[in-house]
Amino acid sequence: MAGNRFSRAGLQGFWWAPAILSLVAFAVPSSAASPEATAREVLAKTPVIDGHNDTPHQIAELFGRDFSKFDLKGLPPETLAKTHTDIPTARAGFLGGQYWSVYVEAGLPKHEAVTRTVQQIDVVRQMIARYPETFAYASTAAEVETAMKKGKIASLIGMEGGHSIGSSLEILRQTYALGARYMTITHSLTTDWADSATDAPKHDGLSPFGFEVIAEMNRLGMIVDLSHVSEATMHDVLDQTKAPVLFTHSNARAVTPHPRNVPDSVLKRLPQNGGVVMVTFVPGFTSAERRQWEYEKAAVAGKAKLEFTGNPAGEKAAVDAWIAANPQPKATLAQVADHIDHIRKVAGIDHVGIGGDFGGVDELPVGLENVSTYPALFAELVRRGYSKADLVKIAQGNALRVMRGAEATAAKPR
């Protein structure tokens, strides 16, 4: 009421008014707000920092890195179906910070991998420069927070795959100088110095040079990303590193038995390290049913290849017939939340983040079709009993702590 001396307008003249208003706000029972409203309230104040988005790769693949051929202010549906990201969807999803993935194919010759990695870094730099009203380059936790306070999407660079440095500490240092703030130790193939999760092992984890790479990353302040690496590599890194690690786009192996996911033996070590698993939306990593279907499809395809040698049409027909009889299971938003539940149970709430892998997959879970859908996932967590403080940690608090940990490690005298 206008005449009430304790109305919001009436309180504004007193120094203690903000504290009173905060107490009044928190006195309202949380049940008064829907899960969706609670999620949006939290994300409006503490937007999502996502660990992995492959839009730069899509820009290279679809447009040859030519920014005159598209406009992130509004992509057509057929393009958005591949990037899952443009400025309107990012704003709708409360995206506050993004590690833009700098990805090049794992099988490239070393010199070509290095060249193309630098080209991809340039894509990210161009994207930031062309949309300064939306994006702000960030290389530290403080710069991320400053960008978000200005209402911009803090844009960081993540280098996906140790092949990107051509087995050279000199290149590692120069990619850091160009802005790379994490490096995924491997991608799909084992490198000269580290074993991948999806390739034959050569080193039982890290080679001696691999340990040198981790030490140099610690010295620089570059975060070690353990997505894509073998379990032995995970343990070797945790034995060596002095800084917190990230899994920028991985899930829990106990929920979905995929080698790209994180086993409990590693999750149990994260409290001591301070690291974070940024839960991803890749269907095969998310849904156990989908993973089993992929196993069975691979077996059918292998059998068809033998049965129809020299007859590719027959081979394809056999696989297509099996798929028609066995429809592909869809991953769901609820299954992504199941992975968050498990990681919280084993490692703790301080070790969970979000790394959607938007732009890096052909399909996404039902309910998480593009970057506008983060609030739906956080609403599901509210329904499962997660507090506002929990949501803040998952959205950005844990990711910022890892950044600060890497920076603090680099700042220590040697």
Active site residues: 52, 54, 160, 187, 228, 249, 357
Residue type, 229: V
Residue type, 253: R
Specify the 3-state DSSP secondary structure of 135.
Answer: strand
DSSP 197-256: TTS--SSSSB-HHHHHHHHHHHHHTPEEE-TTB-HHHHHHHHHH-SS--EETT--BTTTS
The pairing of strands 135-137 and 276-279 is unpaired
Tokens of 106: 């794992």
Q: How far apart are the first and last CA of the chain?
A: 64
Q: What is the dihedral of CA 259, 261, 266, 269, to 10 degrees?
A: 170
CB 51 within 8 A of CB 248: yes
Residue type, 158: G
**Which residues have CB under 8 Å from 140's CB, separation 6+?**
403, 407
**Which residues have CB under 8 Å from 192's CB, separation 6+?**
167, 207, 209
Q: How far is the C-alpha of 8 from the C-alpha of 15, rounded, in Å?
A: 13
Specify the 3-state DSSP secondary structure of 316.
Answer: helix
Tokens of 210: 């691999």
Cα three-residue angle 189-190-193, rounded to 5 degrees: 145
Q: How far is the C-alpha of 181 from the C-alpha of 224, rounded, in Å?
A: 9
The pairing of strands 180-184 and 153-160 is parallel
Cα three-residue angle 187-192-194, rounded to 5 degrees: 55
CB 329 within 8 A of CB 322: no
**3-state SS of the chain: helix, strand, coil percent to 5?**
55, 15, 35
Q: What are phi and psi of 67, to 5 degrees?
A: -75, -10
Residue type, 265: S
